[in-house]
Every structure is written in structure tokens, then in C-alpha cells.
Amino acid sequence: MKIEQFIELKQKGLNMDLIWMLQKIHEGKETILIDGIISSLLLTLERKGYILEGLVTQEGVELLDSLKEKKIKTKKFPKIDDVFEKWWKAYPGTNEFTYRGKAFLGTRALRTKKEKCREKFEEIVDEGVNAEDMVKALEKEIEQKKEESYKKNDNKLTYMQNTLTYLNQRTFEPYIELIKETKQISVKSNITDI
């Protein structure tokens, strides 16, 4: 493995244990559960979208193929500060907004304690959560809340947490899963279209 491949794997929050496990699943080989280590690896691979229901996803196959070819697609990863700023700007400042020409009045600030949020954001990314996925999850949640507000004529952003609470309670996690499930469905439908 070239140093560039190792660095890219590290940036994706992957280690050789995870790659080994992904390869074994891809080869269809059974693994023995050892003190929860293997189940922890499986959960991590599933959370990152490399396996789904015990099978290697298209994303997982592409990762393994890129390692076999002795090259990993070079992709510039944005600096964590840049992604945090993108996330911060995406987070509504207040619960007041206009959607499809309809105005919804707000009553409170949602963006608070920026530096504490930056620290928490970095901590979450260090745990292996993809920073870009956090931005996409936030955008998805806001989109759903605005659409729901429009349909029900009730401001659903009123129920949105402030930024620090949102990060501390990891409110983004179900939305990351929703985005990944949608992506998996799209990949499966494209495969069946062939």
C-alpha cells in the first residue's frame, strides 16, 4: 500500500482492521466474533456506508477495487474548518424564514456558541463521522422542516434545537442514515435498470 492510500484511508476514518473486515465480507468468508471487536467493526462499516445488511455496498466495492489497483482516486478533502463553516452557515440563524413565497415568523435564535460548536464538531469528526455528511444531513433536515411548515401552515423550525444542543444530542445521525438509505436505493435501482 502506498503512503497516499494510507493517508486517504485515515482521512476517511478507516484503519486496516476495517479494510480486512470489508475484504472478508466481500469474499463471503465467515468471521468469528471476538469480544465484540468484530461486531464493532461491522457497525462502523455499516455506519460509513460500506456494508448494508451484511453485504458490501457499491461504495465498499469501489474502495476495495481502488486498493487492488494500487491507486486510490485522489480527492481533495476540505479542511475541517472549511466544512464546519459550511455547516455553521447552513444552520438557520433564527426560526424565521420564507419558503415558496410564504413567510414564517420566528421567535428565537438557533445559532449559538460558535466556538463550542466548532470543538464539538471536530470531536464528532474525530470519532469517524464524515463532516460533509453532517452538512448534508443538516440541509436535509432543514428542507424537510420547511416543506412540513409549508404543508401544515405551522413553523416547524420552531422545534429545531440550537446548534450546540443539536451537536451534543447528535440529532444529525438519523438524517445521515436517511441520506445513505436513499443513496443505496438509488444504487440498487440503477443496477436493476441494467
Q: What's the confidence (pLDDT) of residue 68?
A: 76
71: exposed, middle or buried (Cβ count in 10 Å: 0-12, 13-18, 19+): exposed
**In 39-193, beta strands by DSSP E:** 51-52, 55-56, 97-99, 102-104
CA angle 137, 133, 129 (to 5 degrees): 115
Q: Residue 37: what pLDDT?
A: 64
Instruction: Categorize the per-residue pLDDT at 73 as very low, low, confident or very high, splitting at 50, 70 and 90.
Output: very low
Write out pLDDT tens, residues 149-182. Answer: 999 999 999 999 999 999 999 999 999 998 888 7
Residue 135 pLDDT exceeds 80: yes
